[in-house]
Amino acid sequence: MTTLSLAMIVRDEELTLGRVLSDASAFCDELVIVDTGSTDDTRAIAIAAGAKVVEFPWVDDFAQARNVSFEACTSDWIMWLDADDRIPADVQNTILELKRSLLSDDWDAVSMPYRYHFDATTGECTFTLHRERIVRRGAGYRWSGAVHEVLDVSGGRVATRPGLYVEHRPHESKSGAKVGRNLRILERVVNSGDRSSRTMFYYGNELRDAGRYLDALKGYQEYLAAPGAVWEHYAALMSAAQCADNAGLPDEATRQLFDALRVDPSRSEAHLALGRRHFDRREWAAALPYYAAAAAAKPPVEGFVSAEDYTWKPWDHLGVCLINLGRHKEGIDATLRSLDQGNPDVARLRANLHWAVDQLGSA
């Protein structure tokens, strides 16, 4: 049977490392851990799990560390994970089947959803992105990017498996650990002369997350002069619009949103944001076509995807617009669809439904 190695880079991960190694042991033939300077029991936990531990001094470069982890692997295929990831039992079984049925010289990589954020109340996944998760060792892929590192598998034979997924489940004590680290690394990279498209995209994102909105806009503008992939181009425009709004530049924000529509009109995010501009002014007729377009959008495979943008949110706003325009039956149908797709604001939607039904009765 095809063999599969796990490749990980870690540092001070004693709280979560054991559980992800237990998950991976169900389907991996080799566990490779690159430790970048742990001072807790991380190495002991890895060794107890049967992992090969390689020590590599941290040099503020995630890609270098990940490449070391790949170089230490000896199996036919490599799967990478982080210490705060989990593989549910049903996915473990599916990966075992994948080893028998898919992992061969006919493919170079497997792309899977990364379930990155979960609602604290319902436990439902609210944010996903697809990642190149399993690669054929013989394909020779290398990591690039000091932060938000990536494997460029665009020229290879890539199998996409939406039904397989990895869950990001960080320990609560680690929630603030990354604050400032990525921005510090990216500022060093940019100041050293790397102003590549991908670097400027993530530099803009980190500046945005730090609340430095005008600086982020400058970063995005430099990125947009020579944008990368369509999904990344779209995401940069959406983030630039958010930064412009936060910086008190609404006209600039609107311009960025229309540019996003031109780049990819099939996605929902720009439609929702443009609809909201009219919705907040109670301009129901003007908002309606944007929400209708958002409701018709299908979740994309590439890029960042917030689940609510492709399920209940468009139908919620669409229902409000239709009810206020006197199209009560259509508004009721849209509101019910929003509820059926998991809208958590149940009390408000029920009130909307009661009001719309009363209007029908008095017509």
Q: What CATH code is carried by the domain that includes residue 283?
A: 1.25.40.10
Residues 269 and 256 in one domain: no
Average pLDDT over residues 224-253: 97
Final residue belonging to a domain, choices 230, 264, 298: 264
Residues 147 and 75 in one domain: yes
Residues 79 and 12 in one domain: yes
Give the pLDDT of residue 174: 67
Question: Which residue range is the domain that position 310 belongs to?
Answer: 265-363
Give the pLDDT of residue 210: 94
Residues 9 and 26 in one domain: yes
Find the DSSP H helices in 87-196.
89-101, 181-191
Give the pLDDT of residue 123: 85
Residues 314 and 202 in one domain: no
Residues 62 and 199 in one domain: no
With 0-12 CB in 10 A as exposed, 13-18 as middle and 19+ as buried, what is 311?
Answer: buried
pLDDT band at residue 175 using 50, 70 and 90 as cut-offs = low
Average pLDDT over residues 242-257: 98
Q: Is the pLDDT of residue 230 over 60?
A: yes
Nearest to 263 by CA among 289, 232, 291, 230: 230
Query: What's the whole-model pTM score?
Result: 0.90
Residues 233 and 124 in one domain: no
Per cent of the chain over pLDDT 70 is 97
Give the pLDDT of residue 68: 98
Residues 322 and 300 in one domain: yes
Average pLDDT over residues 58-74: 97
Residues 121 and 99 in one domain: yes
Residues 234 and 143 in one domain: no
Q: pLDDT tens across 90-108, in order?
A: 999 999 999 999 999 999 9
Average pLDDT over residues 39-53: 97
pLDDT band at residue 361 using 50, 70 and 90 as cut-offs = low
DSSP annotation string for 324-361? HTT-HHHHHHHHHHHHHTT-S-HHHHHHHHHHHHHHHH
Q: pLDDT tens across 106-153, in order?
A: 999 999 999 988 988 888 888 999 999 999 999 999 999 999 999 999
Rg, the chain, Cα only: 23
Residues 77 and 190 in one domain: no
Domain count along the chain: 3
